Structure 1
Amino acid sequence: MGIKDYLQKRRDEAELGHGIWRRNHDRFVRGLDRFHQILERMPSADMIDVMVPAANSLADLLPRVRAIAEEAQQLAPSDGTDIPYSTQGTYSDLNRALSKAGNSVALCAEALAMLRCSGECAAACTGKISVERRVATVEEHIVRAEELIVQAREEAAQKAF
């Protein structure tokens, strides 16, 4: 582990803690890494070019996932496996949305692996459409998580009064 990795680990611990919010973030990162690993091993440059927009879309979601996880950690710190309590179940729903997003990224990587195994792919092949559909699902889960973090913020503000 180099100094850069060590500093990033310390930053992650400070901003994301050690609990469920950190695990959700890390699950998303692992899925994204796996997607890019599979993309790098595509058999032809044409197939890579076809899938780069999907890879970019997923990568663009990472800062949003991190922002949600950071704010969730600030609003409801978690250093264990328990989901923080909220009267309306907002944190439970938020955990579910982030978890589904991470799992959906892994499914994107799986769809890409299947596309890779199927051979050459034109710009409109069914494998590409499958990957793009899964990317859209990831985006939907992130949008839902963003809605829930706004709701959690509002609940916290009401609690403060």
Structure 2
Amino acid sequence: MPARRRLRDVLARRSPDDLELGEGGVWRRLHDRFRRAVDRYHQLLEGVPDGALRDALEGCGARLAICLDDVRAACVAEQASSPSSGLEVPGGAAGEHHARLSRAATLAAQAAEAVTMARVRARTDSTVLSDASAAEAADRAVAQVEALVHT
């Protein structure tokens, strides 16, 4: 009886994410990787001074946040149709979908790197604060993320 009670307590403490995405399969890991990239983007954005550069980067960040919702929905749907609890990526259409979303996660991380470079440029060159061209790399990466996520 105590073992059943402990299992029931563990199940009750699980978040909806655990139930919908599984606990350690490819869809959970893919979603978490994408979420970390988006979180990192927004953390780095906090260090960018106000101005046109920050406005442009905030727009990209908002677009990434929308993609995060879409990636989560896609991973939940794939976990429901092609459940995963291990490291093996499914084949067929699910595998292709995983590859696209994995590439999108990599590009989201590249967008965060672009924010880092924009921050460094803004600190060393005050004219960058009014020049949104420093955000072009982030914008390109986010546009590619959107194309991959919404395919």
Q: TM-score, normalised by structure 1?
A: 0.77
Q: Percent identity?
A: 35
Which residue of the partner structure matches residue 4 of structure 2? none
Quick one: which of 128, 135, 139 aligns to 2:135?
A: 128
Matches within 5 A, 1:78-117: 78-85=84-91, 89-117=92-120
The answer to whether 1:12 aligns with 2:17 is yes
Unaligned runs of 5+ in 1: 1-6, 145-161
How much does 1:123 deviate?
Answer: 4.3
Which residue of the partner structure matches residue 58 of structure 1? 64
Q: List structure 1 runs of 4+ shifted beyond 3 angstroms.
A: none
Q: Deviations over 1:73-123 (max 9, x none)?
A: 0000000001224xxx21211110111111110000001111111122334
* Whole-angstrom CA distance in 2 between matches of 1:10 and 1:77: 18
Q: Whose radius of gyration is greater, 1 or 2? A: 2
SS in structure 1 of the partner of residue 28 of structure 2: helix
Report how many aligned residue pairs link the two structures. 133
SS in structure 2 of the partner of residue 45 of structure 1: coil
SS in structure 1 of the partner of residue 15 of structure 2: helix
* Whole-angstrom CA distance in 2 between matches of 1:139 and 1:122: 26
Asked if the contact 2:56–2:132 (Cα under 8 Å) also holds between the matched residues in 1, the reply is: no
* Whole-angstrom CA distance in 1 between matches of 2:41 and 2:132: 20
Which residue of the partner structure matches residue 151 of structure 1? none
Unaligned runs of 5+ in 2: 1-11, 123-127
RMSD: 1.7
- AA aligned opposite 2:118: L
Asked if the contact 1:16–1:73 (Cα under 8 Å) also holds between the matched residues in 2, the reply is: yes
